[in-house]
Structure 1
Amino acid sequence: MICYLVKVWSAIGLRVALSAVCVLLWAQVGHAAAPPNIVLIMADDMGYECVSANGSTTYSTPHLDRLAADGMRFRHAHSQPICTPSRVQIMTGIYNERNYIRFGILDPQATTFGHLLRKAGYATCIAGKWQLEGGMQAPDLFGFDEHCLWQLNRRPSRYPNPGLEVNGQQKDYTDGAYGPDIVTDYIVDFIGRHQDQPFFVYYPMILPHWPFEPTPDSEDWDPQAEGLLRGHGELKYFKDMVHYTDKMVGKVVAQLDRLGLRDNTLVIFTADNGTYVKIKSYIGDRAVQGGKGLTTDNGTHVPMIARWPARIRTGQVSNALIDFSDILPTLSEVGGAPVPDRIDGRSFFPVLTGQKDSARDWIYCWYERNGRVNRASQHVRDRQYKRYADGRFFDLIADPTEQANLMVSELSSEQEVAELKLSKALAEVLERSEQTEAVKQERKASKDE
């Protein structure tokens, strides 16, 4: 076996040799014969209510519905209220109170799931929206071998005739191309080129974030359009953009199926936050107002679907409580990569494989768009109740928009138990938060000396 690895090393290089080692280690610890491929797709500004498998009567999402029918649909997955906080948390497995700097940046010292899976022998690719600064070298520095991104070091059109950065080169498209098609086609090509080795694709989608513009499937699509650089566009196009989001997911999944990679590929679909605040959608006859930027349910409740035919039974609906810090440890466990110390997330791999119903009893949210500690909103919640650091307590089933603060003196016995549990959890988090802030201040003081 050692001789074989030496030959591999000599013939095709260090990275592929490491991949071979990881395959062997994976088999030795009781996993399948080959590490699974991983595709993580995250839509931009698309709340739980936008997927017809979740009961939406406003949108039709047949590809996502099929993905859910073939795997597991989650009813209680939560992001952060807006994009950068969610991107930082999903990529690092750490709550924002510990490593969030400000909007539009990822800590240059952060360890991401790209680092972990690349080190474990995966070919890694990120395509879609960046918005995390760091310059042209950032994708590689954060663990990605290849990239095809919008907003890496500039902010041109993202939809018709876009400007993108592809593996360190700025590219401007003027032939009627549509940004989401370009990045999705790049992913499809990447999968084809790496079908014989483990790969990790992270697809932070451009869609369906404003500006709301026609898609190539809209009746008034104009291939000569320059794309809006200012303003939100017209709300009427949001529905078309959700449909195109679904279409792009279908294109990626179809490539996996076409190449025979279906069974041994974990596909996870989710979204980075709730829907834009001016958009009203329906689940059945219940109206859901978009809540992007809010800590209420409509700001953080997002769709999540997982398909992995080799390990996930079809047609599952999970009540497991998931937050974005849980993605990194889950992908690490799936890919056989060591999980860093001191992360906050908990792997829901046992939920995917039917070994557990849930990996946690509560989730925590620290949110302040620009990272200002003294203005941050903090809460702990479970499936039904939410406790804020300022003392507010809500029943989210009876009051999803948080209009009626429940007074502690008037709680039922069930509510008292829930409030006590969440208060204890919040106290633990706040104590750790104070310790984290003290460490930050010590580091700052040492730098200033």
Structure 2
Amino acid sequence: MLVYEFKLSGTQQQYRLIDEAIRTALFVRNSCVRYWMDNAKIGKYDLSALCKALSKEFLFANKLNSMARQASAERAWSSISRFHENCKKKIKGKKGYPKFKRRGNSVEYKTSGWAFSEDRKHLALTDGHNIGIMKLVGTYDLHYYQVEQIKRVRLVRRADGYYAQFLIKAERNIDTTPTGKTIGLDVGLNHFYTDSNGGQIETPRFLRKSEKSIKKLQKRVSRKFSKTRKRLTPVGSPDHGSETRQQEKIKQSNNYLKAKNKLSRKHLKVSRQRKDHAVKLARCVVASNDVVVYEDLRVANMVKNHKLAKSISDASWYQFRVWIEYFGRIFGRTTIAVAPQYTSQDCSNCGKRVQKTLSTRTHKCPHCGYTADRDENAAINILKKGIATTGHVGSSELDSVNAWGDLSSTGNDVNQSQQDRSLNQESPDFLVKTSDSKA
């Protein structure tokens, strides 16, 4: 499956109507979660029936397209089924109990509620919100695909504008020749990764480089924020028979909203830099090696160390792994994830265990005298583990991780002829191509 992304150009009224549709979709999703909490043995089809009941009970819910309501119910069921699976697998710690979402950033339409113009450069949203026709800003040609191939359309709100994503039923595969090379990767904080050949890639540290400007923007937001005030409800009011005090939020100024948007845009830029770095680097690694072996790290557990959490998040190891597995399928390469235990402690030459602290950056084996960089020694051990065992090839998490828009691509690696050949080949993956040249 392919996902093409375009930026939407419209009026402020149309943007407000999109926000209304997003709020309605969030209401349907939260209502489904509440219905599941209050009733036992609720299934997926019960949530779909609830969508119809909500459309009859609430007028604003009836404005949203019926298939868009079903897509919101599917989101709720996705979190519910994930919780059930975690309970069955007896995963340690929190099981991911479904929660209510306070904010939503997207709404999904299936095969109805939208239409193309004749030139396919405009998108018309035809449900009860009457959003109307909006221009698609991008470089990709949607004439190449039939309308029947577009299975879903998603409207996404970001800090720099609104986007439309099209899920297209088409496969992608890239013909490559074997290189005869294998490589092991050890990710770190001093270097983004060190491979088994001794090569190292520096950590970009996008957040650290932008931290000064982010703090400056955050101070502006804090200065322009107005705190809540208390008001005294008069005696004999229709709401309260006695004198009580209530909290009343003050509407924030336009200057506050502008400062907040600038801060959001800065964070969005950092996240896009991380993605771009991970995509390009993962593609180069997979394209130049037949077998790629890496550590099966649990990054969610590692960021619990508050001294290293910011640096680990800034390195975006998990995103790099996701893209390695994705390009492994596209290029037909083998990607193997191995257990990370003792890869830094064991000697890659003799196999003896040499205990060392995290601050020790050089591996010196007292048994065989082998000396090497700590990360290079670990990368060699990772490669040996992957070759000696089958390991964990690929990751099933890739199928469930943000197939819609969190996976982004530079779009520089596929030309139109390759897209043409990919239609007759099988590939279960999703590709997001950002077609906004202004972003």
TM-score scaled by length of structure 1: 0.22
Q: Comparing both chains, which one has the higher relative contact order based on Cα–Cα distances under 8 Å and sequence gaps of 6 or more?
A: 1
- Write 1 or 2 for the structure with the bigger share of helix: 2
